C-alpha cells in the first residue's frame, strides 16, 4: 500500500503534502527533523490520509493535491488572512482534486 498524506505544522500552520509506503515511519521522520524540507517546521499533525494500491497512483494524487494547494495560494496571494491563519483544503477543493486525479 501507498499513502498520500497532508501534514499541518504545529509551529507555523503551513501544510505539507507527501506520499510514502510507510506512513508511521515517514511521520516520525518529519517530526524528528530528519526531512530536510520540513525540519524547521516540526512538529506536525497528520490531518489527511489517502490509500492507493500503486506508487504511481499515489504520485498522481500527490501532484494533484500540490497543484490545488498552489492554485489556492496564488488565488489568495494578496490576502494577508490566508498567510496568517491555519487553512485546510475545503471539501470543494478535495472533491475537485478527486475528479482531477481520475482523469
CA 17 – CA 7 distance, rounded (Å):
6
pTM: 0.71
How far is it, in rounded angstroms, from Cα 14 to Cα 16?
Answer: 7
Exposure string for 57-91, b = 16+ CB within 10 A, e = fewer: bbebbbebbbebbeebeeeeeeeeeeeeeebebee
- Tell me the CATH number at 7: 3.40.1440
Q: What range does the domain containing 55 cover? A: 2-102
The total number of structural domains that make up the chain: 1
Local mean pLDDT, 10-residue blocks, the chain (103 residues): 93 91 95 91 93 96 88 64 46 45 44
Give which of 43, 80, 58 is closest to 2, Cα–Cα: 58
Cell, residue 46: 497528520
Amino acid at each position: 500500500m501507498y499513502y498520500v498524506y497532508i501534514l499541518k505544522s504545529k509551529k507555523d500552520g503551513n501544510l505539507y503534502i507527501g506520499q510514502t509506503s510507510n506512513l508511521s515511519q515517514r511521520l516520525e521522520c518529519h517530526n524528528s527533523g530528519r526531512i530536510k524540507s520540513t525540519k524547521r517546521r516540526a512538529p506536525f499533525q497528520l490531518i489527511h490520509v489517502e490509500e492507493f494500491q500503486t506508487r504511481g497512483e499515489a504520485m498522481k494524487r500527490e501532484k494533484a493535491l500540490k497543484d490545488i494547494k498552489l492554485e489556492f495560494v496564488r488565488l489568495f496571494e494578496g490576502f494577508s488572512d490566508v498567510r496568517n491563519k491555519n487553512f485546510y483544503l475545503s471539501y470543494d477543493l478535495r472533491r475537485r482534486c478527486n475528479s482531477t486525479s481520475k482523469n
